[in-house]
Amino acid sequence: MDGKFLRGSYQLERDNPESPPHPAILLVSAYLVERGLILEPYQVDRKTNEIKALPEFIEQLALKGVVIAFDASSTKK
């Protein structure tokens, strides 16, 4: 599992005066390395972060008996 910000997905106030500014979109994705698959990404609520979104994302996947690996940023308390 890993989270990534979508490059260029943010909008500053000066970018487009007809559209409200917003932060970049953050997605958390699960990868099945053995099969070369990327499962449907989970969009993280902009009021939270990747670490807080992971438990809900794992619950949505409803996986049992599966080992999940995270990057270092997911190990923070």
- Per-residue pLDDT tens digits of the chain, which is 77 residues long: 778 888 877 777 777 777 777 788 888 888 888 888 888 888 888 777 778 888 888 888 877 777 777 776 656 66
Q: Is the pTM of this model over 0.75?
A: no
Q: Which residues contact 54 (CB under 8 A, 6 or more apart)?
A: 1, 28, 70, 74
Type of residue numbered 31: Y
